[in-house]
Chains A and B, each alone.
Chain A
Amino acid sequence: QVQLQESGPGLVKPSQTLSLTCTVSGGSISSGSYYWSWIRQPAGKGLEWIGRIYTSGSTNYNPSLKSRVTISVDTSKNQFSLKLSSVTAADTAVYYCARVVAAAGRVSFDYWGQGTLVTVSS
C-alpha cells in the first residue's frame, strides 16, 4: 500500500520560502507511470493544483504560481519536495502531496498524503 507523508515547517514568515517534503513509502517513486504532485487548500476553500514532477525530472506548474514554485525529486530518498518563494498570507493553506497515475485515458490523483497546514505569519 502506497503511503505519502508531508513534512516541513508549519509556520513561515512573509517573504520567506515555504519548503515541504513528501516521503513516499510502500513503493518506489521511480517505478511505474506516475507523476508526483502538490495541491493546496486554503481553509474553507477549494483545491488548487500547484504543480507536478515526473521521475525524469520534468515539471509543470500552475501558471498562477509558476514564478515562485520549484518541485524537485530525490529518488535515492524516495521523496519529492516543494519550494514556494516570497510567501504572503494568501499562501496559508493545507498542502497535500499526491501520486498521479498516468495511464492511457487516465490521469488522476490516486494516493494522497494527509495534508499539512502551513501558516504564513510574522
Chain B
Amino acid sequence: DIQMTQSPSSLSASVGDRVTITCRASQGISNSLAWYQQKPGKAPKLLLYAASRLESGVPSRFSGSGSGTDYTLTISSLQPEDFATYYCQQYYSTLWTFGQGTKVEIK
C-alpha cells in the first residue's frame, strides 16, 4: 500500500491567512493526487486533481503543487467557508488511499 501522511493534523488560522497543507506519499506517485474538502456532516468535495488541476467551480484561491512524493495544498487567502477538514488521496496505485486529514480551525 502507498501510505499518505498529511501535516499538520490540525491548524488554527484567521480569515485572510495563507494556509499550506502538506501530503507526503510513501513512494513516488507521479502527480496522481487529489485534494478534497469535507465539512461536518457532509460528503467530501473534490478540489483538485492531478496534483494541481482545479476542479470546475472551485475558487482560484485553492492551488496545488508538488512532485514525486511531496505535495501541497495552498489556500491563498482563507475565507470563512474554508474552515473544514482537507484530505489528500493518491490514485497512482490500484489501491487508492487517503491521507488522515488536516483540520483547519478558526483562530
Partner of B46 from A46, A60, A63, A110 at Cβ < 8 Å:
A110
Assuming the contacts A108-B34, A110-B46, asked whether A46 and B99 have C-beta atoms less than 8 A apart, the reply is: yes
Q: What CA separation (Å) do A60 and B91 show in the bound complex? A: 13
**B21 to nearest A CB, angstroms?**
14
In the complex, per-residue mask of A78-104: 1 if CB is within 8 Å of any chain B CB, else 0: 000000000000000000101000000
Report how far A47 CA is from B36 CA in the complex, Å.
11
Contacts of A60 in B (CB 8 A): 94-95
**Contact in complex: A63, B95 (CB < 8 Å):** yes
A63 CA / B94 CA spacing, docked (Å)? 11
Residues from chain A with a CB closer than 8 A to the CB of B46 are 108-110
B43 with A114: CB separation less than 8 A: yes
**B83 in contact (CB, < 8 A):** no
Chain B: interface size category: 20 to 34
B34 engages A109 (CB within 8 Å): yes
Q: Interface majority SS on B: helix, strand, loop or mixed?
A: loop
A112, B34: Cβ atoms under 8 Å?
no
The reply to whether A62 and B44 form a contact with Cβ atoms under 8 Å apart is no
CB-CB under 8 A from B87, the residues of chain A are 46-47
The smallest C-beta distance from A93 to any residue of chain B, in angstroms, reads 13
Residues of B within 8 A of A114 (CB): 42-43
Residue interface bits A108-122, CB-to-B below 8 A is 1, else 0: 111011110000000
Q: Which listed residue (B38, B50, B53, B98) contacts A48, Cβ 8 A?
A: B98
- Whether B95 pairs with A47 at a CB distance below 8 angstroms is no
A21 to B49, CA, bound (A): 27
Distance in angstroms between the alpha carbons of A62 and B95 in the assembled complex: 6
Q: Does B44 contact A47, Cβ atoms closer than 8 Å?
A: yes
A105-B31, A112-B43 given; name 18 further pairs at CB < 8 Å. Answer: A46-B98, A46-B99, A46-B100, A47-B87, A49-B96, A63-B95, A105-B50, A106-B53, A107-B34, A108-B49, A109-B34, A109-B44, A109-B46, A110-B46, A110-B55, A112-B45, A113-B43, A115-B43
Which residues from chain B sit less than 8 Å from chain A, CB to CB? 1, 31-32, 34, 36, 38, 42-46, 49-50, 53, 55, 87, 89, 91, 94-101
